[in-house]
Protein backbone atom coordinates (compact mmCIF):
# COMPACT_ATOMS: atom_id res chain seq x y z
CA UNK A 1 0.00 0.00 0.00
CA UNK A 2 1.29 3.49 -0.76
CA UNK A 3 2.06 6.10 1.88
CA UNK A 4 -0.94 8.15 0.76
CA UNK A 5 -3.88 7.97 3.17
CA UNK A 6 -7.11 6.53 1.81
CA UNK A 7 -10.53 8.16 2.02
CA UNK A 8 -13.71 6.13 1.50
CA UNK A 9 -15.80 7.31 -1.45
CA UNK A 10 -18.66 4.92 -0.68
CA UNK A 11 -19.11 1.85 1.47
CA UNK A 12 -20.42 -1.28 -0.28
CA UNK A 13 -20.43 -3.23 2.99
CA UNK A 14 -18.93 -2.00 6.23
CA UNK A 15 -19.25 -5.12 8.38
CA UNK A 16 -18.96 -4.10 12.04
CA UNK A 17 -17.27 -0.78 11.19
CA UNK A 18 -18.92 2.63 11.58
CA UNK A 19 -20.03 3.59 8.08
CA UNK A 20 -19.75 7.27 9.04
CA UNK A 21 -15.97 6.88 9.16
CA UNK A 22 -14.31 7.76 5.88
CA UNK A 23 -10.71 8.54 6.84
CA UNK A 24 -8.11 5.76 6.96
CA UNK A 25 -6.84 6.58 10.46
CA UNK A 26 -10.39 6.68 11.89
CA UNK A 27 -11.26 3.36 10.24
CA UNK A 28 -8.13 1.73 11.64
CA UNK A 29 -8.94 3.16 15.09
CA UNK A 30 -12.39 1.52 14.83
CA UNK A 31 -10.69 -1.73 13.83
CA UNK A 32 -8.42 -1.55 16.86
CA UNK A 33 -11.38 -0.98 19.17
CA UNK A 34 -13.21 -3.96 17.66
CA UNK A 35 -10.11 -6.13 18.04
CA UNK A 36 -9.78 -5.07 21.68
CA UNK A 37 -13.48 -5.73 22.26
CA UNK A 38 -13.11 -9.38 21.28
CA UNK A 39 -9.85 -9.86 23.21
CA UNK A 40 -7.68 -10.61 20.18
CA UNK A 41 -4.65 -10.30 22.45
CA UNK A 42 -5.76 -13.61 23.95
CA UNK A 43 -5.60 -15.45 20.62
CA UNK A 44 -1.83 -15.79 20.75
CA UNK A 45 -1.10 -14.85 24.35
CA UNK A 46 2.16 -13.08 25.16
CA UNK A 47 4.71 -13.89 22.47
CA UNK A 48 8.36 -12.85 22.54
CA UNK A 49 11.30 -14.61 20.96
CA UNK A 50 14.87 -13.98 19.99
CA UNK A 51 15.78 -14.88 16.42
CA UNK A 52 19.13 -16.03 15.16
CA UNK A 53 19.76 -12.45 14.00
CA UNK A 54 19.92 -11.45 17.68
CA UNK A 55 16.77 -9.31 17.52
CA UNK A 56 13.68 -9.74 19.69
CA UNK A 57 10.33 -10.31 17.96
CA UNK A 58 6.68 -10.56 18.89
CA UNK A 59 3.58 -11.56 16.91
CA UNK A 60 0.43 -9.45 16.83
CA UNK A 61 -3.09 -9.70 15.42
CA UNK A 62 -4.02 -6.56 13.53
CA UNK A 63 -6.27 -5.02 10.90
CA UNK A 64 -4.64 -4.09 7.60
CA UNK A 65 -6.22 -2.22 4.71
CA UNK A 66 -5.35 -3.93 1.45
CA UNK A 67 -6.55 -3.75 -2.13
CA UNK A 68 -9.45 -6.13 -2.70
CA UNK A 69 -9.01 -9.16 -4.91
CA UNK A 70 -10.92 -8.31 -8.12
CA UNK A 71 -12.97 -11.55 -8.00
CA UNK A 72 -13.97 -10.91 -4.38
CA UNK A 73 -15.11 -7.39 -5.28
CA UNK A 74 -17.01 -8.69 -8.31
CA UNK A 75 -18.78 -11.34 -6.21
CA UNK A 76 -19.79 -8.87 -3.50
CA UNK A 77 -21.04 -6.33 -6.04
CA UNK A 78 -23.06 -9.08 -7.76
CA UNK A 79 -24.63 -10.04 -4.43
CA UNK A 80 -25.50 -6.39 -3.77
CA UNK A 81 -27.17 -6.14 -7.18
CA UNK A 82 -29.32 -9.17 -6.28
CA UNK A 83 -30.64 -7.48 -3.13
Domains in the chain: boundaries: 24-82
**Residues 6 or more apart whose Cβ sits within 8 Å of residue 62:** 35
State in Å, rounded, how far the first CA of the chain is from the last one. Answer: 32
Name 24's bridge partners: none
81 φ/ψ angles, rounded to the nearest 5 degrees: -65, -30
The confidence score (pLDDT) of residue 24 equals: 97
Q: How many Cα neighbours within 13 Å face the side chain of 83?
A: 8
* 18-77 tens-digit pLDDT: 999 999 999 999 999 999 999 888 999 999 999 999 999 999 999 999 999 999 999 999
pLDDT of residue 41: 85
Q: Is the pLDDT of residue 2 over 70?
A: no
Confidence at residue 64, expressed as pLDDT on a 0 to 100 scale: 94
- Taking the C-alpha atoms of residue 38 and residue 23, their distance in angstroms, rounded to an integer, is 23
Amino acid sequence: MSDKKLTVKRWIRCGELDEKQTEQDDILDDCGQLLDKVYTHEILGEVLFEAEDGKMYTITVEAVIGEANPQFAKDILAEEDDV
